[in-house]
Structure 1
Amino acid sequence: MNLEKARRAQQLLAEKLRLEPLRRPVNFVGAADFAFDRNAGRIGAALVVMDINTLEIVDEATAVTKSACPYIPGYLCFREGPVFFQAWKRIIRQPEVWFLDGNGLAHPRRMGLASFVGVIADVATIGCAKSAFFRFEMPERSRGSFTIYRNRDNEPVGFCVRTREDVKPVFVSPGHRVSFEDCLWLTLELAHFRLPEPLRLAHGRAKQIFLRP
């Protein structure tokens, strides 16, 4: 993997980012998470689409492929993006917005996985990461508390959000075609546990990919 070319590609894609309010109403929300078979060098993606009015899964898909890139922080979009799109092509009921396990703007070049997917597919995306890319201020312990998440230049790139009382926060950032307000609203609206419910279910399905015979 040529890091200089990858970095330049991220910079060019970042020029196409758009932040805008989600179109209302929002009825269907998708999510994607990933799994790895390190022994075989394979990567899998699990995608779900949820009707947020009934909390029912209305569509889902998985895909598995050889991992084209090694694990390099800041460049995971090139590792996880291709397998996401393999599964995405199998989704019939496309949602109004996707949650991805990873970052959006909260990235050194504003091109985390959620932004990468959003710009390439021209769909609305939100990054929801379980760990921080940048330093952050811990929110209060109560559910719904949040702090502004900032990059190294002190620019706001998302939120550190407490989705459950006394549970570790998540790091939410716009990917593409969403607003900061939408990210915070949808995360708290759908987080019955630590993760937003569509992402929690995608996470569970991703863990099963390489357990299947």
Structure 2
Amino acid sequence: GKIPADIINVIGMMAAIGPFHVFGDLIAGAGIANISLSMDGLSQAIGTTSSATNCLRGDTPIYTEKGEIPICDLVGETFRIWDGDMWYDAEAVTTGEREVAATQLTNEVRIVTSPDHLFRVIDEAGACAWKAQSDLVQGDTVLTRPEAREVREADYPTAQVLEAWTTTEREHMFDIKVDNDRHLFFAYGIAVHNSGYGARVGNYLKEIKAAIPMYKQWYRGIKMTWA
């Protein structure tokens, strides 16, 4: 169901003044889909979400514990993905119709994504960073999946961008949600990012409900109920 407006308003208010973390996940640019609140008292920092939505065409093979499987076939299934360090539980989601962009690599892979989909790139100094498909240029070096385990990210095999372009077409697309810190998975063997990349997917219903009595005491006069 939808998150009530009074909860969202309080989240915004507390994000400005409260000692806690706010976590969320945005799907298909439709707003906050998952919210998790935690009063751990360890930091004044606020975890933020991103408005970007990373999307992949349905036939894109995703590297899972059971092998490479098209992302459209993973929706509603239980599976685990490899993020370069460990296996993690993941969820495939539909993200609706999105603008189509394509990237051709030197390893003969042509991957179709949305223009805002993030690729893991590495520069000549060995520094790794995220770069949107729309910002990729010829010669950019993207990370690919290592065959061996316990490989430093800077030592991952790579491929170079031959061409990256955006079309006027739109297609129904999909993405992967991963509850870990890296938010990385491998599509067509390429290291890419998942939706809500500035956030964590949490056990949000349980945590919000548990936190409401505490917030009621702190913020008098503000209605905080779960509809």
TM-score (norm 1): 0.26
Higher relative contact order (CA 8 A, sep 6+): 2
Query: Which structure has the larger Rg over C-alpha atoms?
Result: 2
Instruction: Give the number of the structure whose residues are more often helix, by fraction.
Output: 1
Instruction: Give the number of the structure whose residues are more often strand, by fraction.
Output: 2
